[in-house]
Amino acid sequence: MPKSVNPNYIGKSPEFDNIKQPEGKYDTQMAAQQIDINTSDVIPDISTNPLNIYVPSTFNDSTKVWADYMGNNNSSAYRGSPSYTTGNSSNNATNITEWVQGNTSAGIRFSHTSCSSGYTAFTISRYNGAELRVWNSSSGNWLSGFWSGAAPVAFHEGWLTDQTDRAGTSWVICVDQYNYFRGYYNGSNYGGTGGQNTNSGYWTLNYGSNTEYSDWAVYGFWYYNTTLSSSDRDQVISYLKNLVGIS
């Protein structure tokens, strides 16, 4: 996407040549990090930044820690051996050539997150073998995106959707709030409303209180610690669809 010219950049274009450069000590590493945060292609272009972004490039295959691109909260625990993987784009996402994956014995926890009210989360995931749950809560009965061979579906201490499989093994972009859920896949989308805000747990990837585990592949997890408006939700979805090539 087009980026505006930074007038304080030493290589600024001629129309900004009358602007004085900063003087004195200048932390170039911090400046570079801030520029990266402000212009990254993985940060959706809305006024509110996510608290956390987890994408394949920030996963440490040695320690199994999924680092937060925003620098706020890394994953808190893992089980088994989730792994960073590369391959050709497939499963109806033309731009995905890297992902994190695991079998039924592998999972990751994000203990700073919430499955109750006051959040908005976006996941890009798919089934990759055994098909039960993928995203669920550390406690109670709560799931987002996948259940018993069906996607996209959601249960937040109560169903928000029916339990029909629509996406198969296609990559699915899901947006989740405690009382709202929708999944986007291969030119279609489906979702619903309902659920409850009574779940006291946090988000887990194949590592929840329920042992209905799957073989899974995940491109990313965007977590906002606020309830985004419907307009902002839609803008993030459009941004992510373009990012990973889901129609």
**Local confidence pLDDT in tens for the 247 residues of the chain:** 444 444 443 444 444 444 444 444 444 444 444 434 444 699 999 999 999 999 999 999 999 999 999 999 999 999 999 999 999 999 999 999 999 999 999 999 999 999 999 999 999 999 999 999 999 999 999 999 999 999 999 999 999 999 999 999 999 999 999 999 999 999 999 999 999 999 999 999 999 999 999 999 999 999 999 999 999 999 999 999 999 999 9
Structure confidence at residue 179 (pLDDT): 97
Structure confidence at residue 135 (pLDDT): 98
Residue 191 has, within 13 A of its CA and on its CB side, a CA count of 21
User: Going along 16-163, which residue ranges are E strands?
Assistant: 52-54, 77-79, 83-86, 98-102, 107-109, 120-127, 135-137, 142-147, 150-156
Cα 219 from Cα 76, distance rounded (Å): 18
Chain length of the chain: 247
Torsional sign, CA 186, 58, 42, 73: positive
Domain boundaries, the chain: 52-244
Residue 56 CA, distance from chain mean position: 10
Structure confidence at residue 140 (pLDDT): 96
Structure confidence at residue 42 (pLDDT): 97
Write out the two tokens for 69.
């691109």
Helices and strands in the chain, H and E counts? 2, 14
Candidates 1.10.287, 2.60.120, 1.10.3470, 1.10.10; CATH matching 52-244: 2.60.120
Structure confidence at residue 2 (pLDDT): 43
Structure confidence at residue 58 (pLDDT): 98
